[in-house]
Each structure stands twice: as structure tokens, then as C-alpha cells.
Amino acid sequence: MRTISGVLAVSLVGTMGLIAVPAQADPKPPVIPSQSTVDAAKKAAAAKAAQVNAIEQQLASAGARLEQLGVQAAKAGEVYNGAMYRLQQAQAEAKAAGDRADRAEKTLAAQRQQIGRFAAASYQGGGDLAKIGPLFTANGPQELLDSAGAARSVSQAMQGSYLRYTASQVVTNAFKLQKDQAVTKVQAATDEAAKAKQAAEAAEAEQRSAVAAIGVQRRQQIAQLAVLRNTSVQVATQRQRGLEELARQRAAALAAKKAEELRRRIAAREAAEARAAREEAARKAREERNNDKHQGSKKKPKKHRPSKGGGGNDGGSGHNSRGARAAIDFALAQLGEPYIWAAAGPSSWDCSGLTMGAWKKAGVQLPHYSVAQYEQIKHISEDDLRPGDLIFWAEDSGDPGTIFHVAMYLGGGRMIHAPRPGRPVTTDSIYYWEAPDFFGRP
């Protein structure tokens, strides 16, 4: 019994051991994506990258669009300045024409009275009233002179007075016509200014609306970028700002390179001028020494007299360095003040308003219109630029009549200007946008 129990126990233990260890299952085969799944994933990744690229391009285009709208608004404002400038000219011409017509009319009236006095004297001297009566009709003076009886009683002085009267009548009629034409021109200029004002207001409104709309669009697009890149909006915003700053720095570096080239050209020109001035002074000194030798010891030595003039050396170019310094100081004092079209101070400016105000401080009167400013100053080349000179941009680089923007040169390839709506008075490279077209010196 004991043996059977032992065997049974061993058998049970063995059986339990067999039950406790389960049999291992066969390994599952690996999941291998199909080629179509791989292709779909690649396509999705490419689409995502394309979306990112498209949004980045849209953001860049939005920035360029804002800049373009700002420039267009500034151009519209300068067109208005031109319309106002022509209106002021037309008003001045109309006033001058009116004054001429009034003076001529007074002269004609005085001469008419003189002829009347001659006629009255002739009548009192025995002339026939019936013969001088025609004097007071439309063709009176001529009929009076044609009359044989009157001819015997009217003196040579009266005939001379009549000739002067006839000439004055022609001149008076011409002046009246000029006056009428000038008044018509004023009306046309007034209409032009009104239309230009409406266009400038519309351009500014469009720019303001675009700034708001593009701001909303920009935020939405940056949010899309965050989703596509699996980042936060803050990170996406920082990245976009970084990309835009990088683009700005590249543009600034290119502008700085061009400005440095200009600085070198100007420095070379100034060195050449200084060298030529020294050579000219040396030549004059040699001539004076030779003259002294030829004239002998009887010649009295010349007394040195200080040279007359304003203190600044203009290098023979007519540059008013003292006035330029005053103009620059005034312009720099306006840094940060807002751009407002048609504004000319004291706390807001447009491009030609700023340069007009700056040079007014230096005692130079310029019109509030960039085209007219260029017309009224000395024209120079880019390599002849000196601080205080004016720089102009035009629609057509060969036609100064298409000028739409003006800035003041500071030296070293930099300038100060009132750029456009949304950008206050600031300093920039003269190549910040595109190369300028014309240059001038007040």
C-alpha cells in the first residue's frame, strides 16, 4: 500500500508539472506595409511639405504685398502734392492775370476820359455837338476822327490819345482773355486736386484694410504651420519671425555692400578733388614766386588777408555745408514721427514735406512736391553726393517728371526719409528698396 501510494504521488506530481507548463505558440509573422501604403505615406509627407512651403510663400508674399500697398499709398499722396502744387501755380497765375486786366482797364478808362475832355474842349471852342456826339457811341472815337469838321477842331494831342486808347483797348481785351483762361485753369486744377485727394484717401484706406486682413491671415497661416510641423503656435511664430529677419538681414547686407561701394567712389572723388586743390595752390604759389623775382625787391610784400566766405569747404561744387548740417539736424530730430500723406510737420510728415521742412530750417525754400523739388535744385551725379543732398526715385528712371519719392542723404550710403504709411521717419540704406534714379543739391 505504501508503495502504491508513493507511485501514485509521483504520478500526480508529474502530471501537475505537465499541466503547469503551457505549450509555446508559433511566432506571428511581421506586419509589412504594402507598396501602396508606403506610396500613400510618401505622398502625404510630400503634401505636408508642399503645404508648409506654400504657406511660407504666402506669408512672404503678404509682407511684400503690404510693402507694395504702402508704396502705392505714398505715391498717391505725392500725386496729390503735385496736384496741389499745380493748383497753387494756377491760382498765382490767375491773380497776376486779374491784376494785369484790372490795371489795363483803369488805364483804358483814364484814356477814355482824356478823349472826352478833348472833345468837350473842342465843343466849347465852337465845335458842333452833333459832330462829337458819336464819341459816346460804340465806335465813337473813330467816327469823331473821321468827321471832317471834327478833324479841324481836334488837336494832334487828341489823335495821339486816341491811338494810345486803341492800343490799350487791344491790350485790355487780351488781358481779360488771359484772366478768363487763368480762371478756367484754376477750376481744372481744383478738380484735379479733388480727384487726387480722393485717390490718396482710397489708397490709404486700402492699405489700412490690407494690414488688418493680412494680419488675420498671417495668424491663421502660422497656426496651420504649427499643426503641420507638430509644434506650438509660439514656436511657429518665432520661426516665421526668424525667417523674415534672416531675409531682412540678407537684403540689408546687399544694400550695405552697395552703400560701401558708393562710399569708396565718393571717397576717391573727394581725394582727387583735394589733390587737385593742392596742386592748384602749389601752381599759384610758384607763379607768385616767379612774379616776385621778375619784379625785383621794389615790390612790396603782400599782406595776408583771411579769405571771405562761410567757413565750409564746398570743394568747388557749390555745396552749402553749414546749411546742409542744419537741414540734417532738423531731419534727424523728426526720427520716429509718423508718415501722413500731405503732411509737412510739425509732428508728422510725408517724404517731400520732410525734405521741405529740413531745408527750410537751413534757409532754402522748396515746394511740397518731389518733382518740383528736383526741378528747382542743382542736378548732380550719384558719385557727387554729399550729406544734405536729396535723392529721388521715379517710375521711369529716364524721366524726372515721374519722380514719386525723395529722401535726404546722410553720408556713408545712408539716408533719412519718411517712407510710407505705417513706417515713421527713419534712416535706411539708400538701396533699402531699389536704386535711386536722380540726385540734387539745394
Residues annotated as part of the active site:
351, 405, 417
Say if residues 377 and 440 touch (Cβ distance below 8 Å). yes
Measured CA to CA in angstroms, residue 331 lies from 205, 271, 389, 426, 438 at distances of: 27, 28, 12, 10, 20
Neighbours of 74 (CB within 10 A): 26
Q: Which three cell numbers stand for residue 211?
A: 494690414
- Report d(CA 26, CA 155) in Å as an integer: 148
Distance CA 395, CA 415 (A): 20
